């Protein structure tokens, strides 16, 4: 009897240990799968972050290029306006010296401008 009880207890303990170890192994397998999934996601996110950072740098460079271009264009337009003003001032002074103040000078709009005192 005693031996039978010990054998019965032994089989119950073995059965419970086997179930516990099976559950632990199953849990470990699930965690390994989750870990693999999250590591892959982390790697994917790191790649996406690197791509976005590269895109941001590219856009920053484009903005800087656009600023430089706009500055050059602004300077050219200002120089052109200053040159036109100097030209018209010269023509006005020349016209006053020659006494032909009522002469026609080209305007910056492509038409003619009358110069009168």
d(CA 71, CA 78): 10
Residues 105 and 91: beta-carbon distance below 8 Å: yes
**pLDDT tens digit sequence for 25-71:** 999 999 999 999 999 999 999 999 999 999 999 999 999 999 999 99
Parse the chain into domains and list their residue ranges.
Answer: 2-84
- The reported pLDDT for the residue numbered 6 is 85
> And the tokens for 99?
């006494």
Q: Is residue 14 predicted with pLDDT exceeding 70?
A: yes
pTM over 0.75: no
Q: Is residue 16 predicted with pLDDT exceeding 60?
A: yes
Q: Is residue 104 predicted with pLDDT exceeding 60?
A: no
Helix (H) / strand (E) element for 107: namely: none
Burial of 103 (0-12, 13-18, 19+ CB in 10 A): middle
pLDDT above 70 as % of the chain: 85
Q: Are strands 104-106 and 112-114 parallel, antiparallel or unpaired?
A: antiparallel
Q: Is residue 112 predicted with pLDDT exceeding 50?
A: no
């Amino acid at each position: 009897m005693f031996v039978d009880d010990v054998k019965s207890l032994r089989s119950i303990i073995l059965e419970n240990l086997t179930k516990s170890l099976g559950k632990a192994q199953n849990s470990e397998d699930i965690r390994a799968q989750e870990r693999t999934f999250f590591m892959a996601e982390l790697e994917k996110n790191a790649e996406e972050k690197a791509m976005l950072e590269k895109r941001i740098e590219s856009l920053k460079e484009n903005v800087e290029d656009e600023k430089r271009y706009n500055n050059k264009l602004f300077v050219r337009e200002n120089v052109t306006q200053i040159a036109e003003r100097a030209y018209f001032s010269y023509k006005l002074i020349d016209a006053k010296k020659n006494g032909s103040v009522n002469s026609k000078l080209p305007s910056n709009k492509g038409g003619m401008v009358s110069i009168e005192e």
